[in-house]
Chain A
Amino acid sequence: MSTIIHAVFGYLFLLLIVRVLSRRPGGQLTLFEFVIVFLIGGVIILSTVGKDRSVTNCVTAILTVGLMHWMVSGIKGKFPRLGAVVDGTPLTLLKNGEWQLEVMKGMRIDREDVMAAARTKGVTSIYDVAYAILERNGAISIIKNEK
Chain B
Amino acid sequence: MATNQISRPVEDSIAKVNDEVAVGEDLDFQRKWWRFENAAWVVFTLIIILDLSGLFGRGPIASAERRSADGVFDVKYERIERTDSPSILTVQFAQSAIQNGKIQLYVSNSLIKQLGTQRVIPAPQDTVVGEGGLTYTFPASRSPASVDLALQPSGPGIYDFTIGVVGSPPVQAKVVVVP
Contact = CB atoms under 8 A, between A and B. Distances in A.
Interface of A: 16, 20, 22, 50-51, 81, 84-85, 88-92, 95-96, 103, 106, 131, 133, 143
Given A106-B34, A131-B17, A92 B40 contact: no
Given A84-B29, A106-B34, 11 more contacts: A20-B37, A20-B40, A20-B41, A88-B30, A89-B26, A91-B27, A92-B23, A106-B30, A131-B17, A131-B21, A133-B21
B129 to A, nearest CB: 28
Contacts of A143: 21
23 contacts: A20-B37, A50-B84, A51-B84, A84-B26, A84-B29, A85-B33, A88-B30, A88-B33, A89-B24, A89-B29, A90-B24, A90-B25, A91-B25, A91-B30, A92-B17, A92-B25, A103-B27, A106-B34, A131-B17, A131-B21, A133-B21, A133-B23, A133-B25
Contacts of B40: 16, 20
Contacts of B34: 106
A92 B26 CA distance: 10
Interface range for B: 10 to 19
A89 B17 CA distance: 13
Contact of A95 (B17, B31, B33, B37): B17
Contacts of A20: 37, 40-41
B125 interface: no
B23 A90 contact: yes
B71 to A, nearest CB: 40
B18 interface: yes
Contacts of B27: 91, 103
The 9 closest A-B pairs by CB, nearest first: A89-B26, A90-B23, A20-B40, A106-B34, A92-B17, A20-B37, A131-B21, A90-B24, A92-B25
